[in-house]
Structure 1
Amino acid sequence: MKSPLVLILCAAATLAACSTEPRVTVNTTPAYVAQVPATVVVPAPVYTQPSTVILGAAPAVFTAVDRDFAYKAAVANMLEIGVSRIAPRRTGSADVLAYAAMLDSHHTLALNELHAIMRARGMEIPSALPHNRQALMDQLGTSRGHDFDRAFISEAGVRAHTDAILMFQQAMPTVSDAELRNWADRNLPVMRQHLNEAHRLAAAIG
């Protein structure tokens, strides 16, 4: 039998031999985490302004003041278009004919733009002139030559544009619809141009 000292030495030798085995390191971090970079930058959220068009929202409508102005402005343009289209059959003046063509072009464009705004607000488009405006159309339709020129420039050129400009100036501070107000702002200088030209022609015609 081996002595206790021998047994102790053998045990120590066995432990020393075991300590020379390669160590196995166990990674306790899951593989999917180990693949993530050490520093992760999260982008800040980006906020955008909401769209001005809201699905399902009720369409914009005119106030009573807006409706009144839109109707009167439409009638004013309809009158200028109507009388300017009579001129080619009634005048012999090249200047009057050119003035009528300008009125027809400018007021047709203005009326088409106004109609688009009115339709978008659900407002009915006037289909006929009121009685007093139609009476002027009928009166001009019965005159010819110099008499037509004087009446056309006096009524459709000077008086109608003076009345329309005054109506625009009085109504615009109370018009609340932005698109309608912008339309009026753009067309007011055009009407002033028409009025100035009418005064020039009136002086020339006598």
Structure 2
Amino acid sequence: MKKSSLFSKAILGAAVVTMSFGMGSCKNEPKAEDPKEVAEDANEQNLDTEATDSLEDDSQYLVDAAEVDLKEIELGKLAETKSTNADIKALAKMMIDAHTKASAATKDLAAKKGITLPAALTDKGEDARKDLNDKTGADFDKAYAKAMVDGHEKTIKEIEKASEKAKDPDVRTWAAQMLPELRKHLEHSKMAKDKVDAVK
């Protein structure tokens, strides 16, 4: 009896140890891969054929644009709820509406070309959202307006490059059609930034 009792205790002890290891490993689960990296990996695999080889480079333009759209929509939603400034709220609404529309156009082209796009806000986008969310009042308004100016200046450069250098004519056309709206966003962002920066 003693032997079987000791054996049972040993089994029970092993089970407890195993459970505690299992529970501990839940806390140390690897971080989910960045949605942008997932998309880039998929494109590298799927577009690595003679028929789609020229699209592999062009796919990056669409992936980057999709990343920007997701970020601008999320930051816009945040600004709509957190800001009390009429100019910032108007800018945020413009960004949500325009980038939702732009996102749909990018998704349509990506589907047509077999290009994978980020399915959710990227790590960089999450970081930008958290940083902005930490701010309040006039500091928030100034940070949001600055982010819109800086972000659109960078995006315009990338989309200009796509409109001139993309190998696929559809990608060049898509980029050229995006530019007027992006330039309009930049002008509105600059105007809003000038107004909020003047507030002491």
- Whether these two folds match at TM > 0.5 is yes
Q: Which runs of 5+ in 1 are unaligned?
A: 1-58
Confirm or deny that 1:72 pairs with 2:58: no
Higher helix share: 2
Describe the superposition over 1:26-54 as per-residue Cα deviations: whole angstroms up to 9, x where unpaired. Answer: xxxxxxxxxxxxxxxxxxxxxxxxxxxxx
Map Cα deviations across residues 120-147 of structure 1 (whole Å, 9 max, x no partner). Answer: 2112221133322321111112222211
Q: Hey, what's the Cα distance between the residues in 1 that align with 2:161 and 2:108?
A: 23
Give the 3-state SS of the residue equivalent to 1:129 in structure 2. Answer: coil
Structure 2 equivalent of residue 164 of structure 1: 155
| Residue in structure 2 matched with residue 138 of structure 1 by the alignment | 130
Q: Is the 8 A contact 2:63 2:116 kept in 1?
A: no
Distance (Å, rounded) in 1 between the aligned partners of 2:164 and 2:70? 24
Deviation at 1:67, TM superposition (A): 0.7
The one-letter amino acid paired with 1:141 is: N
Identity over aligned pairs, percent? 25
Give 1:133's aligned amino acid.
Answer: G
Distance 1:92 1:119 in 2: 39
User: What do you get for the CA RMSD once the two structures are aligned?
Assistant: 1.7
- 2-structure distance, mates of 1:202, 1:69: 28
Displacement of 1:154 in angstroms is 0.3
Aligned residue pair count: 147
Distance 2:118 2:124 in 1: 15
- 2:145 corresponds to which of 118, 139, 153: 153
Query: Aligned partners of 2:81, 2:54: CA distance in 1, in Å?
Result: 39
Indicate the residue corresponding to 1:196 in structure 2.
187
Shift of 1:61: 7.8
Runs of 4+ aligned structure 1 residues displaced above 3 Å come to 59-62
Correspondence 1:19-30 to 2 at 5 A: none
